[in-house]
Amino acid sequence: MNTTYDNFGNGYSASEALPEERASFIRKTYLHLAGAVLIFILMEAYLITSGAGLWMAQKMTGGYSWLIVLGLFMGVSMLAQWWANSQTSKPMQYMGLGLFVVAEAIVFLPLLFMAAVRSDGYELFAKAGITTLGLFLGLTAVVFLTRKDFSFLGPILMIGGFVALGFIVSGIVFGFSLGNIFAFVMVAFAGAAILYDTSNILHHYRPNQHVAASLSLFASVALLFWYILRIFMGSRD
């Protein structure tokens, strides 16, 4: 097959690249993911210990405020992903990743404050973090060891995402709790998203898309952590 290569790595996927280039892409993706997670943790630590974080969390949870926050978060997420997938500007790619990390940090505030005020709050953070890390490593190992292409999960995740969003909006509007069953379903959903994202890293992303790949993985890991933390919190109530 005669494939045209350009300076940005367009026209071929990482799976078709030379071994050194493919390894560099994978290494950069996971280094950027680790950096995003570290920045997220540092931001949350600062916001939780500052008055600004508490004020923001209170404003986000009054009345229909949470519905507005979710709507804004979805809009910011789409913008961040568009920037991160830019093929012409590296700074724009990093702006997209940074914007998404900041948005996630803000959205997480109410849940983290709910956990932090409990006597076992920091224990919950640690347990949820370790569980998330363990599941993430296990799912990543499945993809890297089997080399299976999980791209078929894409349409399933899209439909499942809309269904989940419908339940979340209904819960906010009609004032009912979705409960632990929904949280367990969403953990499975986030796990499937990690399989899908990791598979795309091996089979479909281009060698210059490490920023976009790390953003997608970060989003899935954050979703997984959110619902694992919700399950641990629910089990203590």
* Confidence bin at 15 (pLDDT 50/70/90): confident
pLDDT at position 223 is: 96
pLDDT at position 190 is: 96
Q: What is the mean pLDDT of residues 215-235?
A: 92
22: Cα separation from own chain's centroid: 23
| Average pLDDT score over the chain | 87
pLDDT at 175 over 90: no
Any idea where the domains of the chain sit in the sequence?
Answer: 16-236
pLDDT at position 48 is: 86
SS3 sequence, the chain?
Answer: CCCCCCCCCCCCCHHHCCHHHHHHHHHHHHHHHHHHHHHHHHHHHHHHCCHHHHHHHHHHCCCCHHHHHHHHHHHHHHHHHHHHCCCCCHHHHHHHHHHHHHHHHHHHHHHHHHHHCCCCHHHHHHHHHHHHHHHHHHHHHHHHHHCCCCCCHHHHHHHHHHHHHHHHHHHHHHCCCCHHHHHHHHHHHHHHHHHHHHHHHHHCCCCCCHHHHHHHHHHHHHHHHHHHHHHHHHHHC
pLDDT at 236 over 60: no
Residue 100's CB is within 10 A of a number of other CB atoms, namely 26
pLDDT at position 180 is: 86
- Percent pLDDT > 70 in the chain is 92
Q: What is the mean pLDDT of residues 19-45?
A: 93
Tens digit of pLDDT for each residue in 131-145?
999 999 999 999 999
* Confidence bin at 214 (pLDDT 50/70/90): very high
pLDDT at 220 over 80: yes
pLDDT at 62 over 80: no
Rounded Cα gap, residues 35 and 56, in angstroms: 24
Q: What is the mean pLDDT of residues 65-91?
A: 89
> Out of 25-34, 118-127, 178-187, which region has the weakest mean confidence (pLDDT)?
118-127
Question: Which of 103, 101, 97, 108 shows the shortest CA–CA distance to 48?
Answer: 108
**pTM (two decimals):** 0.89
* Confidence bin at 5 (pLDDT 50/70/90): very low
- Percent pLDDT > 90 in the chain is 56
pLDDT at position 201 is: 93
> Out of 47-56, 112-121, 164-173, 200-209, which region has the weakest mean confidence (pLDDT)?
112-121
